Each structure stands twice: as C-alpha cells, then as structure tokens.
Amino acid sequence: MHHLTLYASFLAEELRGNPSIDQALDPGDQDMVYGTIDLVKRVKDLANRQEIADHLISTFKQEGVTFDYDEFLKMCGLL
C-alpha cells in the first residue's frame, strides 16, 4: 500500500503543476510540457524513459521552450 500512496502523491504533484516550470512558460506550453511528462511516466523501462526524456529536452531547446529541465526529469521520475 505504501507504493500506492507514493504514486498518488506523484500524480497529485503533476496535477498541481510546478512553479519551476510554470513561471517560465505560457499556458499553452505548460499544457504541452505536462502532457509529455504524463506520456514519459508511462514508459516502464527506465533506460527508455530516460532516452525519451532526453530527446524531448533536446527538442524543447531547439524550439526555444526553456524551463527547469532538471525539474522536468524529476517529474518524469528520473531524478
């Protein structure tokens, strides 16, 4: 049951947003970033999850979408 509590807490964090990400992005970009976090978290294999997250960060940087990438990785369950 303890794992379920931690998972529920992890999900609640995403739903509330994150000031480190929110302050740097407009609402449209926030939706995109949180949507990608939700998708990345669904990848069970951590090596694959890390590869996808790294690719997304690279894409965000290329498109000029800048925010706290370490926080992004934490919310993806990687840090």
In angstroms, the CA 54 to CA 15 distance is 22
Taking the chain (79 residues) in runs of 10, the rounded mean pLDDT of each run is: 48 63 87 92 96 97 94 94
Q: Cα(20)–Cα(52) distance, rounded to whole angstroms?
A: 21
Please provide the average confidence, as pLDDT, over all residues in the chain.
84
pTM: 0.76
Q: Which residue has the tokens 């964090």?
A: 13
Report pLDDT digits (tens) over 41-52.
999 999 999 999
Between the two ends of the chain, the Cα-to-Cα distance in Å is 23
**For position 77, what pLDDT does the model report?**
94
